[in-house]
A and B are shown apart, each in its own frame.
Chain A
Amino acid sequence: MKLLTKTSLNFISASVIFFLVGSVTMYFSVRNIIAEDLQNRLLQQQKEFFNNADKNKISDLTSKLVFIQITDKEIDYSFSDTVLIINDSYILYRKLQFSYLLDKQYYNVSILQNQSQSDSLIKKIVIMNVGFAMLFFIIMFFVNRHSIKSALSVFYSTIRKLEDFELSKLQTLSLETAEVQEIKKLNEVFEKMATQIYNDFEAQKEYTENVSHELQTPLAIISSKADELMQADNLSKEQMEQLALLLETTNRLSKINQALIFLTKIDNRFYNQGISFSLNDLIKEKLHLFDAAIQEKNLSLDLDLLEINHVYMNPYLAETLIINLIKNAIIHNISGGVLRVHLSGDILIISNSGFPLSFSKNDIFKRFVRSENSKKNLGIGLSIVQRICELYTFKITYSYISEHQFKIVFKNK
């Protein structure tokens, strides 16, 4: 529920309750006040009656609204409601009854006061009050709504900016200035946080670069010395073999280092900016890199690229993904085997002939897991593939039914 809806709902429900209780209370209190007033008027008339009775004859005191009856016993004065039929219409009256003693004779006196007018008065007062209160609530509702909305507009723009925030793009958050203290504070905190995150990100980027540099340089020295030594004329076969091994191992170490740095970079989302391009073209282009290798292993290539498919991703990562998969399918292929590359819709399937895995199928994407007979492989290529797929939430699956098969669905989950 939106904040605005929530506050509006609260406001409306509170108003309705207050309104109901208020109107009922008001109705009864106004009625009480008016009834009291009526009683006072009746008592006043009673007093006048007593005054007049002293001066005039009792029969003269009877009027339209004063009734006098002779009675033999005394009664207490009392108020009651009564209805008179005047011109065929019922009219409600308030009645005061009391006894009057004159010449040892009791008279029962009733004084009536019209109540219907006060009843309509109550109605009018209540309606007017209810009307004003309702108007007040409606105005309050809209004023409140508007002020919350305008206060929140900055808040919503902050949310939008946070959603668009990308680390790899150099940018400050530059949020709108808010009038409301709390949102102002919130924006300040966000801006501070963004700067902090960006600085940390930069520091980490620099760190990975430095690690790469610090490790690659000594490796370069080892490699260059081994290379230099190899050029000597007087080396035995054994010495030569050892130097070649040294060179090869150094090269492998450097590649492992590079691959691990690359994995870290993917994890740290260094390669965020993407473009839209044809997967078809990319696969064709990258397959050419392996022409010699395919020829060498005498592989038959089963290429089936159905449609021009456009994917949105970082081109360097896409390239790495395709190269690693093709490479994997060639390295683990058997001489004279098949290499299939099928693309249709969003689905890319790369499969190859080869012996079943010597390890669990679940470990295939794990780092440094490789089969017995390919110890020379780095064992990082498929980890990189998986990590790239994870980054874009593409689904990748591996299966083996007479052929090794990797299937990628190029669709963001």
Chain B
Amino acid sequence: MLKKHKILIIEDELELAKSTVSSLKENGFLPFHAKNLKTAKKFLRQERFTAVLLDLGLPDGDGISLIKEIKSTEIEIGLIIVSAKDVLEKKVQALELGADDYLTKPFFFSELNARLKSVIRRFNLEDNQQLTINEITLFPEEMRTLIHGKIVDLTGKEFGLLLYFFSNPNRVISKTTLGEFMTSSYVDYGFTDDLVYTHIKNLKKKITNSGGDDYIKNVYGVGYKFTVS
């Protein structure tokens, strides 16, 4: 069993923080919650975190001020900004200061899981090389897929979907969430459901044709679940 990654959630909205904590717990993380900058700083001194989720609008100051502090530690900490401010300059500023990703509220937990795991892979070499669930192995860097040791030819979108499912095992992911993920939020509504359906159908077919189990289950027509026992 791998040691659990400690994640610090800096968020002043208590309800949102509670949901985030339970969602991260379910996904195998060890989350901590700080409701303001002061508590966050205390936590950062006491614990060694793998990643930090930082809200920008905090009661005792702008989260931007904490970015440098988090990024100047000896061991690299992954940093994802989670903000309601969908302002281009803010994003640019945060990323320039060293943030690894920027997520706009409201976000989906599946999206958060996927981004978080991607950031963690970047900084933790032991997780970097490959991801394995039973007979399926993914190499995120090279975008390569092996099933029973044999290479499976997946398109970029299919690989992205599979990686997304890998980051969210046993989680119901709604069609809306998958649609947003697949279109990088560029497309507002209209045809994402069909898009999701087609790609998942193709992905399922490629996995089962290569001798893999049918992991991707349809949940009442509202979403999908990557079931791993």
Residues of A within 8 A of B (CB): 209, 212-213, 216-217, 219-225, 227-228, 230-231, 237, 240-241, 243-244, 247-248, 250-252, 254-255, 258-259, 261, 289-290, 292-293, 296-297, 316, 323, 327, 330-331, 374, 376-378, 380-381
CA distance A231 to B22 in the complex (A): 11
Measured in the bound complex, the distance between the Cα atoms of B43 and A120 in whole Å is 111
Residues of A within 8 A of B13 (CB): 217, 220-221
Given A216-B84, A217-B13, A251:B176 Cβ within 8 A = yes
Task: Please report the C-alpha to C-alpha distance between residue A376 and residue B193 in the assembled complex, in whole angstroms.
Answer: 11
**B44 at interface, CB cutoff 8 A:** no
Known: A244-B174, A248-B174. A217 touches B105 (CB 8 A): yes
How far apart sit A224 and B177, CA to CA, in the bound complex (Å)? 12
Write out the residue numbers on chain A whose beta carbons fall within 8 Å of the beta carbon of B144: none
At the interface, yes or no: B29 with Cβ under 8 Å from chain A? no
Query: A403 to nearest B CB, angstroms?
Result: 19
Contact with A along B1-24 (1 / 0, CB 8 A): 000000000000101100110110
Q: Are B188 and A381 in contact (CB under 8 A)?
A: yes
Contact of A225 among B15, B84, B187 (CB under 8 A): B15
Inter-chain CA distance A316–B189, complex, in Å, is 21
Interface residues of B in 144-198 (CB under 8 A from A): 157, 171-172, 174-177, 180, 182-184, 186-191, 194-195, 198
Which residues on the A side are within 8 Å of B186 (C-beta)? 289, 323, 327
Which of B46-54, B126-134, B216-224 forms contacts with chain A? B216-224
Q: Using A225-B19, A251-B180 as known contacts, say yes or no to A377 and B188 having CB atoms under 8 A apart.
A: yes
Render B193-228 as a binary contact track against A, CB cut-off 8 A, 1 for contact: 011001100000000000000000001111100000
Q: Are A217 and B16 in contact (CB under 8 A)?
A: yes
**Bound Cα distance from A247 to B180, whole angstroms:** 12
Q: Is the CB of A293 within 8 A of B183?
A: yes
Are B106 and A376 in contact, with the CB atoms below 8 A? no
Q: Provide the residues of chain B in CB contact with A231, threshold 8 Å.
A: 26, 171-172
Given contacts A217-B13, A247-B177, A377-B190, contact A227 B108 (CB under 8 A): yes
Task: Find chain A residues with CB under 8 A from B86 CB.
Answer: 212, 216, 258, 261
Q: How far is the CA of A290 from the CA of B84 in the complex (A)?
A: 26
Return the chain B residue nearest A217 by Cβ.
B84
**B125 near A: Cβ within 8 Å?**
no
Give bound CA distance, A376 to B184, whole Å: 18
Chain B residues whose C-beta falls within 8 Å of the C-beta of A255 in the assembled complex = 188-189
A247: contacting residue among B174, B189, B220, CB under 8 A: B174
Q: Do A376 and B189 touch (CB < 8 A)?
A: yes
B105 lies within 8 A of A378 (CB): no
CB-defined A-B contacts under 8 Å, sample of 15: A213-B57, A220-B107, A221-B106, A227-B19, A227-B110, A240-B220, A248-B174, A248-B176, A251-B180, A259-B188, A289-B184, A290-B187, A292-B157, A293-B187, A296-B198
Known contacts A217-B16, A378-B189; decide if A212 and B84 are in contact (CB<8 Å). Answer: yes
Q: Is the CB of A293 within 8 A of B219?
A: no
Q: Please, how many angstroms separate the alpha-carbon atoms of A249 and B176 in the complex? A: 9
Q: A209-B85, A251-B180 are in contact. List 18 more A-B contacts (CB 8 A).
A: A212-B84, A213-B84, A216-B86, A219-B105, A220-B105, A221-B19, A230-B174, A230-B223, A231-B26, A240-B219, A241-B221, A244-B176, A252-B189, A255-B188, A293-B195, A296-B195, A374-B190, A376-B190
- B residues less than 8 Å from A219 (CB atoms): 105-106
The prevalent SS among residues of B at the interface is: mixed
Q: How far is the CA of A330 from the CA of B86 in the complex (A)?
A: 26
What distance in Å separates the Cβ of A36 from its nearest Cβ neighbour in chain B?
90
- Determine the distance from Cα of A305 to Cα of B81 in the docked complex, in whole angstroms: 39
B227 to chain A: closest CB distance in Å? 12
Instruction: Looking at the assembled complex, report how far the CB atom of B196 sits from the nearest CB atom of chain A, in whole angstroms.
Output: 10
Which residue on A lies nearest to B26, using beta carbons?
A: A231
Are A220 and B22 interface neighbours, CB within 8 A? no
Contact flag A244-B108 (CB < 8 Å), given A216-B84, A231-B171: no
- Residue numbers in B under 8 Å from A225 (CB-CB): 15, 19
Contact among B88, B157, B195 with A316 in the assembled complex (CB-CB below 8 Å): B88
Min CB gap B124→A, angstroms? 26
Please give, as numbers and ranges, the residues of chain A lying within 8 Å of B175 by CB-CB distance.
244, 248
A290 vs B191: C-alpha distance when bound (angstroms) = 12
B105 to chain A, nearest CB (A): 4
Least distance between B28 CB and chain A CB atoms (Å): 14
Q: Does B109 contact A (CB under 8 A)?
A: yes
* Residue numbers in A under 8 Å from B57 (CB-CB): 213
- State in angstroms the CA–CA spacing of A244 and B174 once bound together: 6
Enumerate chain A residues within 8 angstroms of B88, measured Cβ to Cβ.
316
Q: Determine the chain A residues whose CB is within 8 A of the CB of B184 once the complex forms.
A: 289
Determine the residue in chain A with the shortest Cβ distance to B57. A213
Contacts of A237 in B (CB 8 A): 220
Check if B223 sits within 8 Å of A244, measured CB to CB: yes
Instruction: Given the known inter-chain contacts A217-B13, A220-B16, A228-B23, please indicate yes or no for A209 contacting B87, CB distance below 8 A.
Output: yes
Find the B residue at minimum CB distance from A236. Answer: B220
Beta-carbon contact of A212 and B19 below 8 Å: no
- Which listed residue, A244, A250, A327, touches B187 by the CB 8 Å rule? A327
Bound-state CA distance A377–B192 (Å) is 11
Assembled-state Cα–Cα distance A180/B138 (Å):
77
- Most B Cβ at <10 Å: residue of A209, A223, A255, A381: A223
Contact A220 B106 (CB under 8 A): yes
Residues of B within 8 A of A209 (CB): 85, 87
A-facing residues in B49-67 (Cβ within 8 Å):
57
A296:B85 contact, CB within 8 angstroms: no
| Complex-state Cα separation, A377 to B190, whole angstroms | 6
* A221–B188 CB distance below 8 A: no
Residues of chain B with a CB closer than 8 A to A259's CB: 188
A287 to chain B, nearest CB (A): 12
- Whether A296 touches B194, Cβ cut-off 8 Å, given contacts A220-B105, A241-B220, A378-B189, is yes
